[in-house]
Amino acid sequence: MNDTLSHGLDQIRNIGISAHIDSGKTTLTERILYLTKRIHRIHEVKGKDGVGATMDSMELEKERGITIASAATYCEWKGHRINIIDTPGHVDFTIEVERALRVLDGAILVLCAVGGVQSQSITVDHQMKRYGVPCIAFVNKCDRNGADPFQVIDQMKKKLGHNAVAMQVPIGLEAAHEGVVDLISMKAIYFDGDFGETLRIEEIPESLLESASKKREEMIDAAAMFSNELTEAVLEEREIPEGLVREAIRRGTLQRALTPVFMGSAYKNRGVQPLLDAVVGFLPSPLDVKNEALDIDHDEKPVILSPETNAPMVALAFKLEEGKYGQLSYIRVYQGQLKKGDTVVNVRTRQKVKIGRIVRMHADQMEDIDKLSAGHIGAFFGIDCASGDTFNSPGSSLSMTSMFIPQPVISLAVKPKDLQSENNMTKALHRFSKEDPTFKAFTNTETGETIISGMGELHLDIYLERMRREYKADVLAGEPHVAYRETITRTSEFDYTHKKQTGGAGQFGRIVGYMEPVEEEFIFENRVTGGAIPTQYIPACEKGFRSCLEKGPWLKYPVTGIKVVVTDGAFHSVDSSDMAFAAAARGAFHQAYTQAHPVLHEPIMKVVIETPPEFQGNVMGSLTKRRGIIIGTHDVTTMTVIEAQVPLAEMFGYSTTLRSMTQGKAQFTMEFIAYKQVPKGVMDEIAKKNEKNTKTGT
């Protein structure tokens, strides 16, 4: 199949659908696929048919009714090819959103008409800003009690800083929601048929005419900022052509200076077709986006990529999966074209690989294609690579910039029940670490335990369940461990001499200097003058200091926030060596560290809880008990939203506590925000516990 080239680049849209958990992303994607005839039957996220939504193909996703892994698909709408990635809303799977936005040109930000701008909406918006992704917004669930799309638009302005502009006015809200008024054409749109597939366009109801005219004026004022022609037409009070308004709105959207807002109810099949028109009309094609790569062979000089098919090929592998036929690597082609049978180079490893099979994805289904050209998203099979690797045509060395990867904040010790499980667990951990950059697995050299680390309890829980199901690895999980960090609070000097005399050549190295606290993880500065330490030994000094950061001399946690400055030293013409100076650096570190008043830092989480108002007091009390600081509360229709900052160490098992406290009616999200100093009382408890574990060997 060669139809990847049948669409011009201006007819391609690569979009992501992102939002807070339970805002209706997957439901919206299901409606888009149905209305574009990619699927012939709608399945619900938590449907009674037990099938689950098309994009939630993993068994765990169907059972829990949440999206865990981002899934790719494509559809056709009015002569345009739309490549879609449906991403998870839960913050534990934030890397899935991160890597999707890295390769997409535009996005739909889905917001709940009742919940409005929620905590994860803010996180997703930050990610869009990081990669400069233009977006349109869809205010979903306008049929729900308490729906207020214009309040959501106000929240977008205040909380997200968006220049959000309503493109529609709802015809009725809550149970009375029937359709929308399109403010560009000034027509009422109703969605008839069993699945809203038939559009009925009528005149605007008399009762809505005044508010629709007012909102249209606001929209045209906002759009006029991006078009002199439109401004002139407004000032001269001429009739304004629809095309002129659309062109101005598109210009503002592409600059991320305007966010068009659409509304409807995906579940009730209302508002989806106008949203698809907006994707085609306002979001960028690959031609509208400037993609940059770094030339590795020329000091990482930035190079602007061309979407021309005859240019040297550049593609980014942004997601990996274990498929039935080996590793499945999702790729976005940025320049040139990738053909079946081509030999390409992995820029990171410099290895040449031959492309055997290229496919186009539709959730967990795929179809073979012969080539994939610039601007398209697809996948290839059986090529060993890592997430974030760039592939080039031979002779080229352009690398795409890497994506932001947050550090894990929670760890568990895992233990297989038998030998078969041990082998399967090893395979699973290797696979998961490769697929997900936020999931880490390593062996604790002292205890021999296998430790897995991730972004939260749910994140690790899902991987443990996948180990059991997909790899038949029967594993036991220990208590969660928090990723504490040690750091220093004051400047401390060192003057250390490493001297060792054995039968043969001895070892000698002296290092003088100081360490001080800094914001960065680690800084090493060489201020040695007069050759007190020869230049060739300075890297060994740095290496020696760095080796002490993995495990602090105090509570054995990783050390961060230290600047080491070497000012003086001494060497021996015969006995000095790299090994001697590395050992001297380690000695100097230990000498100064305890004098620098070390403290412990712990991960602090932003916790957002939605609860019925009658449980507000109990919930706030439960957070305070867990050393939480309440940042604020506000009411959203029938629910109270509580925002707090709570140490991760105090949040284990909180979902069970919250459920029992609120009769299962409350829900919460949690994400890492910062490291903060542990209070002295808690620090003493941790020190005692560590001492006890060391004695018992656990």
Lowest pLDDT segment from 360-364, 513-517, 577-581? 360-364
698 vs 685, higher pLDDT? 685
Lowest pLDDT segment from 382-396, 538-552, 582-596? 382-396
44 vs 149, higher pLDDT? 149
Average pLDDT, the chain: 85
Annotate 516-544 with three-state secondary structure: EECCCCEEEEECCCCCCCCHHHHHHHHHH
pLDDT digit string, tens, across residues 554-565: 888 899 999 999
pLDDT digit string, tens, across residues 327-378: 788 889 999 899 988 999 998 888 999 988 888 876 567 788 888 888 888 8
pTM: 0.72
pLDDT for the residue 692: 67
> Among 593, 602, 604, which residue's Cα sits nearest to residue 489?
593
How many angstroms separate the Cα of 2 from the Cα of each of 247, 314, 331?
32, 19, 17
Per-residue pLDDT for 661 more than 70? yes
pLDDT for the residue 89: 53
pLDDT digit string, tens, across residues 461-500: 888 988 888 888 889 888 777 889 999 999 999 999 999 8
> Among 532, 101, 21, which residue's Cα sits nearest to residue 316?
101
Per-residue pLDDT for 277 more than 90? yes
How many angstroms separate the Cα of 680 from the Cα of each of 95, 409, 469, 690?
34, 21, 43, 15
Give the pLDDT band of residue 535 (cuts 50, 70, 90).
very high
Give the pLDDT band of residue 446 (cuts 50, 70, 90).
low
pLDDT for the residue 696: 55
Per-residue pLDDT for 290 more than 90? no
Q: How far apart are CA 172 and CA 150, in angstroms?
A: 13
Residue 310 CB-density burial (10 A; 0-12 exposed, 13-18 middle, 19+ buried): exposed
456 vs 509, higher pLDDT? 509
Residue 520 CB-density burial (10 A; 0-12 exposed, 13-18 middle, 19+ buried): exposed
